Structure 1
Amino acid sequence: MNTIVSTSCGFHAVQNALKHPDNVEVLLYDVERNDLRLKELAEQARRSQIQIRATGKKELDKVSAGVRHQGVIVIHTTGLAKPSLSLEEYLTQLERVPLLLVLDGVQDPQNLGACLRTAAAAGVDGVILPRKKGCPITATVKRVAAGGVSHLSIFEESNWNRVMTTLKNSGLWIVGTDEKAENDIYSTDLVRPVALVLGAEDKGLRRLTRKQCDQVVRIPAVGGIHSLNVSVATGIALFEVLRQRRSPLQK
């Protein structure tokens, strides 16, 4: 992966970024802002020997490219650290029943960030994103994820067919989601090793992705709206896995 520059903006995102100081190049802060939280972040950066630069709101607005920054930004030398292991190698060294999240072409950075935040909260073992046919990890994604990116093993993959084959060969049951599916998620056994697959906001799962799923399920709705936002669906699906693993379905 080529070295690129990315940012984390706002108190919460910066606080989480500073937990991984090796990935931070410089902390920028608004010299005219008198805020105890900002001073604490600057002191944390100083202890980690991170470069600190006082600047003005005008430059911060420019660096953040319109993302709300609250007067503090960190600049990373890499947008997303390249995993030290391939996806296949990573799956073989997992010591618990794995839960992976596969996002098949989510386009909106707000949605992607929310999905990643939820994935981190659910303790997923890995997230798989398409390298080209989806939203990249941007400053907005990181801000919305509120530090979630730093807590996840994220794989950006180009060969989607190989991804699905690798998941199957590693013993994962691939479960896609579709509002029109016959079976619902609550009657589906998710205690086994699972890769949950959610599609793009407008089109859902791509045809070939759906074809490679072992099972496609729906999240049942009782109101007049049957289509859920992808980040909401992600949260429901992931935490249904956790619920079942604490209290498995009765056979």
Structure 2
Amino acid sequence: MNEYNQRPQSSRSPGSSKTNAAGDRKTDRAPASNGRVAKDKRYPATPVPKESAEDKEVWAEESALKGDDEYLAGKHPILEAMKAGRSINKIFVSAQAQRHLVQPIMDEAKIRGIVVQQVDKSKLDRLVPDMQHQGVVAQAAAVAYVEVEDLLARAAERGEAPLIVLLDEVEDPHNLGSVLRTADCTGVHGVIIPKRRSASLTAVVAKTSAGAVEYVPVARVANLVQTMEKLKEAGLWIAGADAGAKEGFYDTNLTGPMAIVIGNEGQGLSRLVKERCDFILSLPMSGQINSLNASVAAGVILYEVVRQRQQALKKSGVKQATPAPDHA
């Protein structure tokens, strides 16, 4: 219940009694007459304060966090979102923010006709709790997922062998954001995640990805195993990352159409997913810890793919084409 609709309550309950100077007991409530309770003029009704326009706006914005809108936080994610043409409803800038940090965002917002509202820092803290917003928050529509076919089409448009990353129940949004950031740097054509038991595209992911979420398409599927079979039919090889692999990581040919599967942070690849892989990759380990963070493992493998593909192009005498920049 809204606090404005709650009347202050007395420490004494209605109808309680007290003793006067003469020792007689009397009640706080006037006696009823004709079945009705008479109004006690000694206790006038407490006026209910009206919500200000600012109170209503804050309530509406904080309630929107539970809806379909996404709140982006931080300078770089918001700048990249605007440059990528993301639909942004409004940008909130802290009145206490350093001018040199927020000025580029304000300039870009002015060019694109996006409303910028200056607010107190505490308001930003409520909009994006547990996030470092750097004094700027943007309200944007949630990132749209794509279809698996769109990822393959993206590779075909570039004239490149498909390179796709599949995440098997990676639940940490920071890991997902880091994978997207590395995927953008290594030319991955897209990332596939399952609908259940997996991190989804949230503001935390956008922040961790440093804006890469705007450039790396993500497909969300109901069944990862069935998707792997479809990728095989499309001509892709499925390589799973697992610590118990027998094949040497650097001795495996990764130049062809490839899908790399990264497992859960704690359990690794699930049994069915592991069984559907064409081969398993194992990173060399020499320390006391026998596993790597999911995003770190993905980064190591993806850069080995890049290295092998660049070497193959040099040997074939084909000059590597410089891809057209996606970052408008």
CA positional deviation for 1:18? 1.4
Cα deviation per residue 1:157-193 (whole Å; 9 max; x = unaligned)?
1122321111101100000010011112211110011
Partner SS state of residue 73, structure 1: strand
Cα distance in 2 between the residues matched to 1:53 and 1:10: 15
Answer yes or no: is 1:46 the counterpart of 2:110.
yes
Equivalent residue for 1:154, pick from 218, 228, 235: 218
Equivalent residue for 1:207, pick from 245, 265, 271: 271
- Matches of residues 68-83 of structure 1 in structure 2 within 5 Å? 68-78=132-142, 80-83=143-146
Equivalent residue for 1:87, pick from 139, 148, 164: 148
Partner SS state of residue 250, structure 2: helix
CA positional deviation for 1:227? 0.6
- Matches of residues 1-251 of structure 1 in structure 2 within 5 Å? 4-78=68-142, 80-83=143-146, 86-88=147-149, 90-92=151-153, 94=156, 95-248=159-312
Pick the structure with greater CA Rg: 2
Cα distance in 2 between the residues matched to 1:141 and 1:90: 20
Return the structure number with greater relative CO, CA threshold 8 A, min gap 6: 1
Alpha-carbon contact 2:193-2:224 (below 8 Å) kept: no
Q: Percent identity?
A: 34
Give the residue type in structure 2 aligned to 1:81.
Answer: A
TM-score norm. by structure 1 comes to: 0.92
Q: Which runs of 5+ in 1 are unaligned?
A: none
Cα distance in 2 between the residues matched to 1:118 and 1:68: 21
Cα distance in 2 between the residues matched to 1:158 and 1:119: 22
Partner SS state of residue 102, structure 1: strand
Alpha-carbon contact 1:88-1:170 (below 8 Å) kept: no
Give the residue type in structure 2 aligned to 1:132.
Answer: R
Partner SS state of residue 139, structure 2: strand
Cα distance in 2 between the residues matched to 1:35 and 1:145: 24
The count of residues paired between Structure 1 and Structure 2 equals: 245
Cα distance in 2 between the residues matched to 1:88 and 1:142: 23
Alpha-carbon contact 2:151-2:190 (below 8 Å) kept: no
Alpha-carbon contact 2:145-2:217 (below 8 Å) kept: no
CA positional deviation for 1:89? 5.1
TM-score norm. by structure 2 comes to: 0.71
Cα deviation per residue 1:216-246 (whole Å; 9 max; x = unaligned)?
1101112222211111101000000000001
Partner SS state of residue 183, structure 1: coil
CA positional deviation for 1:248? 3.9
Q: Which runs of 5+ in 2 are unaligned?
A: 1-66, 316-328
RMSD, aligned α-carbons: 1.7
